[in-house]
Amino acid sequence: MLEIHQFLISAGYRPLTAANNIVENAIIRAFKLLGEPCYDLLVNHLCAMHRLPRHILLTRYDLISVAIRQVFGYGSEVFLHEIRESLLESLPHLDRSLGTARIVEEAHKFEVLKFAGDLRRGRVILLCSNYSSRQQVLDAFFQRTTAAGTRMQHRLAEARYDDGENVVAGARAYCNLVSCQHSPVKQEEHTSARVFLCTHNIDESEVDLYDSVISHDHVVTDRPFMVYSRTGVPSTLNNREHN
């Protein structure tokens, strides 16, 4: 899966970083509170050792926590407690009984699902590794949003098939093909009133995967949960849809 993330970066896609920023700020805050200035050294070392880009490393709390324990020994629990408390402070909607690694995962999942629900233009492809994550993204994509931003019932009750065999509900369309047949998006199509969601099983051949990905404005992954947008392509409109 790491190869996919590296491909997306090289192909001109950039990750959304809201969840990463929450995680990073929580770690930095813990280090600052305890008077340790070595955060960047630790993260850079882990990136080099595990050959991970920084934004992917920040989804791997397991690696970060192990490194903190190795460096600080018994004192590491103070760091890890501060990180957890800072995360929960920034993510009050999460269950406080969750483990810290799960909190980090849920933060990234929340960012993905919010993106799917708020998307207002263009084409997005979900690279999924299991049915559960695919269904969660589809549910968020087809959920109705009120003017106040409240999530309502699904639009799927009004779904129909169009001439291209897409599942259409309101201004949203799910590409129902096993392998997406979208051609590269033309600039004028970014103003289209319809937003498309396609899915691709990452267990399929890489050739098909890369050919499918490159014709989309945005890419969502579920291992880890991450959103990538092509440089220069806006992810949402300022106005909300109500249909």
Q: Which two tokens stand for residue 115?
A: 């993106």
| pLDDT value for 177 | 59
At position 142, the amino acid (one-letter code) is F
140, 213 contact by CB (below 8 A):
no
| pLDDT value for 166 | 74
pLDDT tens for each residue of the chain, 243 residues long: 778 888 899 989 999 889 999 999 999 888 887 776 788 888 899 999 999 999 999 999 999 999 999 988 988 999 899 999 999 999 998 999 999 999 999 999 999 999 998 888 888 999 988 889 989 998 899 886 554 445 555 565 566 666 666 777 777 888 865 556 665 544 444 445 678 898 888 776 555 667 778 889 999 999 899 999 987 655 543 333 333
Give the domain ranges of the chain: 18-109, 118-230
The count of C-alpha atoms lying within 13 angstroms of the C-alpha of 172, restricted to the half-sphere facing its C-beta, is: 28
| pLDDT value for 69 | 93
- Look at the chain and count its residues: 243
| pLDDT value for 98 | 93
Beta bridge mates, 199: 126
Report pTM: 0.81
Q: Which long-range contacts (CB under 8 A, 24 or more apart) does 138-143 make?
A: 138/174, 138/197, 138/199, 140/112, 140/113, 140/114, 140/116, 141/116, 141/117, 141/172, 141/174, 141/197, 142/169, 142/172, 142/174, 143/117
| pLDDT value for 191 | 46
| pLDDT value for 192 | 57
161-175: burial string, b at 16+ Cβ within 10 Å, e else: eeeeebbbbbebbbb
Give the distance, in angstroms, between the CA of residue 142 and the centroid of all CA atoms in the same chain. 17
| pLDDT value for 208 | 63
| pLDDT value for 150 | 52
Separation CA 63–CA 51 (nearest Å): 12
Cα–Cα nearest to 220, from 134, 106, 127 = 127
| Residue 154 CB-density burial (10 A; 0-12 exposed, 13-18 middle, 19+ buried) | middle
The CA angle 62-57-97, to the nearest 5 degrees, is 40
Q: How far is CA 208 from CA 40, 147, 164, 178, 179, in A?
A: 38, 39, 20, 11, 8
At position 227, the amino acid (one-letter code) is V
Query: What are φ and ψ of residue 183, in 5° steps?
Result: -85, 165
| pLDDT value for 162 | 65
| pLDDT value for 153 | 55
Q: How far is CA 178 from CA 14, 33, 134, 197, 237, in A?
A: 26, 51, 13, 13, 29
